[in-house]
Amino acid sequence: MPIRVSDIMTPKVVVISPKDTLARARNLMLHHDISRLIVVDENLKPIGILTETDIAMRVWEESGGKIARTIDEILVEEVMSSPVIYIGPRTYIRNAAKIMIKRGISGLPVVDSNLKLLGIVTKTDLTRAYALNYSGVLKVSEVMSSPVITVFPSHTIYRVGRLMNQYKISRVVVVDGKVPVGVVTKTDLTFVTLSFKPRRVKYIRETGERGRVTRTVKTFRIPIVADIMTSNPITINEDEDSAEAAKIMIEKRISGMPVVDDNNLLKGIVTKTDIVKAILMLPPR
């Protein structure tokens, strides 16, 4: 039988008012361990969605201004995505996936005929459904994104922010040569406490003069990728089952992971977005 939204949606939804602050929104997300809130009006009708990424990017934008407001000064209505796109509970998950990809969104409120909020379906819900129902259909190499946007541990976090904005992505892979050694997400840019203490990094440079070696010491006075990245990231081989990748993301509570070959060299990245796109590659069921 075809899978419908009602089969996989999350029925318990945390809501917030458009007049609340981003500080309250952040606290709700942390308390409930979620990455998005449904914004409702006084009649509890959905009017928008606020995500962790929305908060991260607004804080990032504010930090570049002459007068940077704090998150307890910015209202939800300034940042939320609106008008809200919602669907009914009997919608097939293939159609939900199509809407998410076409609109570039990660969650859809589920409402009844009177627009009463019944729940929410997210990329996480679709990824879980994929893991349970589509084993052995597609390899990771068939669904992954490639090439990958990468940075080095010594790059500044500002380079990371620029790359995420430029390529409309939510994570970059940190590499040592072609080996993935870390991951940085949009959330890391906002919710991780950064150390602004200077870092001293030593480099060894060959001069070519009688084999002479000189040492150069550089001091970084702004946060760098090494300060905030998640080290030793979970990876998956390109020949693995994509349903296994979906299962790992659900079990480890991550939204993406580097894809490597047999020599542990970076080949791509697979994310929940890639899994949602994979649903559209499958025959309707």
What is the per-residue pLDDT across 99-112, written as a single tens digit (0 to 9) for each? 999 999 999 999 99
Whole-number pLDDT of residue 208? 53
Looking at residue 188, what is its pLDDT? 82
- Per-residue pLDDT averaged across 23-32, rounded? 94
Residues 256 and 249: their CA atoms lie apart, in Å, by 7
Domain shared by 20 and 53, yes or no = yes
Number of structural domains in the chain: 3
In single-letter form, the type of residue at position 45 comes to K
| Residue 55 CB-density burial (10 A; 0-12 exposed, 13-18 middle, 19+ buried) | buried
**Domain assignment present for 204:** yes
Same domain as 150, residue 105:
no
Q: Which two tokens stand for residue 106?
A: 């990660």
Note whether 225 and 176 are within 8 A (CB): no
Last residue of a domain, one of 95, 112, 133: 133
In a domain, 95, yes or no: yes
Let me know if residue 40 belongs to a domain.
Answer: yes
Whether the CA torsion 130, 136, 138, 139 is positive or negative: it is positive
Percent of the chain with pLDDT over 70: 86
Q: What is the largest CA-CA distance in the chain?
A: 82
Name the residue range of residue 204's domain: 193-219
Listed ranges 113-117, 206-210, 226-230, 237-241; the one with the highest mean pLDDT:
237-241
Q: Are residues 106 and 45 in the same domain?
A: yes
Q: Answer yes or no: is pLDDT of 195 > 50.
A: no
Among 133, 161, 180, the domain boundary falls at: 133
Q: Are strands 213-220 and 230-231 parallel, antiparallel or unpaired?
A: unpaired
- The band of 146, judged by pLDDT with boundaries at 50, 70 and 90, is very high
**Residues composing the chain:** 285
Residue 63 has pLDDT above 90, yes or no: no
Contact between 39 and 24 (Cβ < 8 Å): no
Q: How far is CA 240 from CA 91, 180, 181, in A?
A: 30, 18, 20
